[in-house]
Chains A and B, each alone.
Chain A
Amino acid sequence: EIVLTQSPGTLSLSPGERATLSCRASQSVSNSYLAWYQQKPGQAPRLLIYGASSRATGIPDRFSGSGSGTDFTLTISRLEPEDFAVYYCQQSGSSRTFGQGTKVEIK
């Protein structure tokens, strides 16, 4: 099983700031089968990024993904009020697993 470790656990930032979230895999994720999701309280997760760097339909371009192999990054260029949420990475290279999440909170 591929274990995904996200860091930091919590990111305290102000609106307008840049957020950088990390996801590290215990082994290489094949074909960059790495996705990122946003989850707000009481809601289902929403797909943001797939294939490590492709934005899902309707996702603003302030969200970007990068990385390959074992190290992946989600960047939110300028935080909007609605971006404060929990973010999960997920891999489908070997079975399917999720990271434990990073909470982006208002500073």
Chain B
Amino acid sequence: QVQLQQWGAGLLKPSETLSLTCAVYGGSFSGYYWSWIRQPPGKGLEWIGEINHSGSTNYNPSLKSRVTISVDTSKNHFSLKLSSVTAADTAVYYCARIEYDILTGYSNGAFDIWGQGTMVTVSS
């Protein structure tokens, strides 16, 4: 049973850098895109970006200038850094995975496993 367990600082001041980590337990790390998704209180979901086991990344264009996603394959971890946060970055942040075929690149593009979510509040 694959599980994603995430953690990180829950309270930040404006201009600080958000930092979260997601660990993958019980499954392979390769053959997946590992994503970060966020959800402001009472609002919808926003995809932030993703990374695969070899470190190839894709980012939401609206956040790209402030986002860095990295991977540590030795620990089956991947991490999110979001710089210069403001109150608009207050949200529940989720990690999630999308499966893809390493040989063909084919993916169904759907997030099948999600972390438990981490509430991050930005306030002075």
Known contacts A1-B61, A44-B114, A44-B117; A98/B109 CB under 8 A: no
Is B115 an interface position by the 8 A CB rule? yes
Over the window 46-58 of chain B, the binary record of Cβ atoms lying under 8 Å from chain A Cβ atoms (1 yes, 0 no) is: 1100100000001
29 contacts between A and B (CB under 8 A): A1-B61, A33-B109, A35-B108, A35-B109, A35-B110, A37-B111, A44-B116, A45-B114, A47-B110, A47-B111, A50-B108, A50-B109, A50-B110, A51-B108, A54-B108, A56-B112, A88-B45, A90-B47, A90-B110, A90-B111, A92-B108, A92-B110, A96-B35, A96-B47, A97-B47, A98-B44, A98-B47, A101-B44, A101-B45
Interface size on B, residues (CB 8 A): 22
**A69 contacts the other chain (Cβ, under 8 Å)?**
no
Q: Is the interface of B mostly helix, strand, loop or mixed?
A: strand
CB <8 Å contact, A95 and B61: yes
Q: Which secondary structure dominates chain A's binding surface?
A: loop
In contact, B108 and A45 (Cβ under 8 angstroms):
no
A: which residues have CB within 8 A of B?
1, 33, 35, 37, 44-47, 50-51, 54, 56, 88, 90-93, 95-101
Contact A92 B45 (CB under 8 A): no
B15 within 8 A of A: no
